[in-house]
Structure 1
Amino acid sequence: MNLALKQYSAVDGQNFEDIETSIVVVKDQLDLLAKLFHEFDASGYFSGVGIKQLECLNNGAEYVQLTKNIETRFMNIVKRLKAAYNICCGSETFTDIQKDCIHFYLAIRSIVFKLTKGNAPDTSQMNAKVRELIKEALKSDGVEEIFKLGEDTQKEIDIFDEAYLAKIEKIKLPNTKIKLLKQLLLKAIDELKKTNKIQGIDFSEKFKSIVDKYNERKESDILQSNVLEDFTNEIIDLYHELRKEKNTFQDLGIDLEEKAFYDILKAIAHKYDFNYPRE
């Protein structure tokens, strides 16, 4: 019995130390995030209601996407914050303001995560109100349909339908728009690869070139309003180019399989520098 009590006390003591350590980590991450957001007006979330809070979350997601470096830093800090908070969320140490800040940052991370990965991380630690705000934030102009692409229930959707592009073009937040365009184009390229691997690889390389330039953007570049617009136009142009390529087999009077073989021959000819009859 004494041995059992001793072991229980040791475990209980370790749990207490883990909680205390986690509390310190949470507060440290909150401090880092406060510094990161020192130029961002979050009053709409903390003082507003409904649409104001929703707009603030969307603007917050846009704010952390200012550069790839800021986005990566934010996502990593909030990841550490969430991991620590999962351990000590039951503690009474945190004030209501601190809890609101935690939910605020977790909500923004969920939105950015969704824009980047296509699925939102677990939101179980957030209160019901914040979860609902995230849900609404991810419904921007019906773009939630974009996120559903690829699901079994959405196989009948034509991702080359101009309607999807039109929905994204309505979005006013430039970095959010670019993220969604990237997802749409990536899905379109994946579809092309299923029938024409050569062209799929070619478009993947073009897409990567655009994404690399976008990820290398600097804060000084963003001050020029045309920079993000240029990225947007490049993605849209590539999307239209891909749509056109998808139907070129009809212009050649051949089927999809023959077009794929035709492109393989062209690629080999280019690689080994020889000519072949085009008739």
Structure 2
Amino acid sequence: MPPLRGHHQLSAISRVSEAEAVSAFLDAMDVARQQLFGFDYALALDGSPKDRLKILPPAIEHILNKGVEDEGNSVKRFQDAIATLVKAFKLASGSPQATDHAVEVAFFTAVRTGIEKLDADRKGKKSGRSDFAIQQLVNNAVASTEVVDILEACGFDRPDISVLSEEFMIELQNMKHKNLAVEALKKLLNGEIGAKTRSNVVKKEEFSTRLEQAIARYHNRSVDAIQIIQELIAIAKDLRVVPEDGLTSEERAFYDALAQNDSAVEIMSNSELQVIATELVKTVRSNAGADWWRRENVRAKMRIAVKKILQRHVYPHDLTTDAVKIVLKQAEAPATEVTR
């Protein structure tokens, strides 16, 4: 008899625990719904997978627009609320209540994932986490939204920012969901800046700073969505420009390092700086070995070689120390990139 009594006690505890899990899940559902107050997402619950995909961009736009108005607090509240909902759904999974709301949970999760894909966290924090457990739990409910491409859902055919056409730029500016367009273009630009300036430390910092400052102005509401889209498009255009100076990408990277100092550019001609850049490439190649930037003796040798080149070409003496630092940083960039 005692074992039987213990069994009943265990069953009672299990029932209470399940009831508590369901209660917590329903509470989390209420909080999640409050985040989308004023937005009709009935199509996401009653429509086809295509309908759910169609309603996703305006839902993301709704959250982003609220975030613009309160410095991103709404975006964070939404992301936190859905994270809590996901955990509660796991605990209540298997219950009739969880099953009944699986499609709605899936939709909320898709919106959250969409915002994460756009890196739209106002504090610049990238989550990068994929909750595979929740995907497995709800994938039958709304499979198409799990792998949604936000831009494709907005009507873009996987645009390549490196070949931005005027038509695509006009399409962005005329896009109904302006905040979503901003975040999508920011995402594209971030990737393209990383790809095109990977081995040019000066240009990478220049374009990254321009993008960060532009987005900051937008978040501070100094500019509206149309203005920021125009700014980001201007950055994209500048990123595509390749100077017709006859330099290789390696030589241009060192030229940019030397020309970063306006005083040096004023004192020396472009042709002189180009000659120095060419010599620097040869010197770096001849002195660099495997993992050379990790070995202080090789770094010291490289530093001396760079300094001698600058002195030979009468590079401004008071600017030499800073120039050597940026040149060494540039020399390390391609080598360290290979090891990542």
TM-score, length basis structure 2: 0.62
Map of 2:207 onto structure 1 = 203
The answer to whether the 8 A contact 2:161-2:189 is kept is: no
Distance 2:52 2:175 in 1: 18
2:164 aligned with 1:162, yes or no?
yes
Relative to structure 2, which stretch is displaced further, 65-74 or 235-244?
65-74
2:267 aligned with 1:275, yes or no?
yes
Map of 2:42 onto structure 1 = 43
- Aligned with 1:237 (options 230, 234, 239): 234
> Structure 1 residues 271 and 29 mapped into 2: Cα distance closer, same or farther (>3 Å)?
farther
> Structure 1 residues 263 and 42 mapped into 2: Cα distance closer, same or farther (>3 Å)?
same
The answer to whether the 8 A contact 1:193-1:200 is kept is: yes
2:254 aligned with 1:261, yes or no?
yes
Map of 1:152 onto structure 2 = none
The answer to whether the 8 A contact 1:62-1:175 is kept is: yes
Map of 2:178 onto structure 1 = 174
How far off its partner does 1:115 sit?
2.8
Q: Look up the SS of the partner of 1:60 in the other structure.
A: helix
> Structure 1 residues 238 and 159 mapped into 2: Cα distance closer, same or farther (>3 Å)?
closer
2:118 aligned with 1:115, yes or no?
yes
Amino acid at match of 2:162: F
Amino acid at match of 1:49: S
The answer to whether the 8 A contact 2:161-2:236 is kept is: no
Distance 2:91 2:157 in 1: 32
How far off its partner does 1:263 sit?
1.1
Q: Which structure 1 residue ranges, 5 or more long, are not aligned?
A: 147-157
Distance 1:163 1:15 in 2: 61
How far off its partner does 1:16 sit?
6.3
Q: Look up the SS of the partner of 2:143 in the other structure.
A: helix
Distance 1:164 1:186 in 2: 20
Distance 2:89 2:248 in 1: 57
Deviations 1:231-276 (A, max 9, x none): 11111111111111xx11xx22222222111111122x34889833
The answer to whether the 8 A contact 1:29-1:80 is kept is: yes
Q: Which structure 2 residue ranges, 5 or more long, are not aligned?
A: 120-125, 272-340
Map of 1:130 onto structure 2 = 142
Map of 2:85 onto structure 1 = 81
How far off its partner does 1:37 sit?
1.9
The answer to whether the 8 A contact 1:54-1:137 is kept is: no
Deviations 1:15-46 (A, max 9, x none): 76664444333222211222222211122223
How far off its partner does 1:79 sit?
0.7
> Structure 1 residues 140 and 38 mapped into 2: Cα distance closer, same or farther (>3 Å)?
closer
How far off its partner does 1:57 sit?
2.4
Alignment of 1:2-21 (within 5 A): 19-21=18-20
> Structure 1 residues 41 and 263 mapped into 2: Cα distance closer, same or farther (>3 Å)?
same
- Say how many residue pairs are matched: 252
Question: 1 or 2 for the larger relative contact order (CA 8 Å, sep ≥6)?
Answer: 1
2:56 aligned with 1:26, yes or no?
no
Distance 1:19 1:215 in 2: 43
How far off its partner does 1:181 sit?
0.9
Amino acid at match of 1:187: G
The answer to whether the 8 A contact 1:114-1:120 is kept is: no
Amino acid at match of 1:166: F
The answer to whether the 8 A contact 1:199-1:263 is kept is: yes
Q: Once the two structures are aligned, what percentage of the paired residues are identical? A: 21
Please, what is the CA RMSD of the aligned residues? 3.7
Distance 1:27 1:114 in 2: 27
2:92 aligned with 1:100, yes or no?
no
TM-score, length basis structure 1: 0.73
The answer to whether the 8 A contact 2:44-2:104 is kept is: no
Amino acid at match of 2:268: Y
2:192 aligned with 1:188, yes or no?
yes
How far off its partner does 1:227 sit?
1.6
> Structure 1 residues 110 and 36 mapped into 2: Cα distance closer, same or farther (>3 Å)?
same
Alignment of 1:137-156 (within 5 A): 138=150, 139-140=152-153, 143=156, 145=158
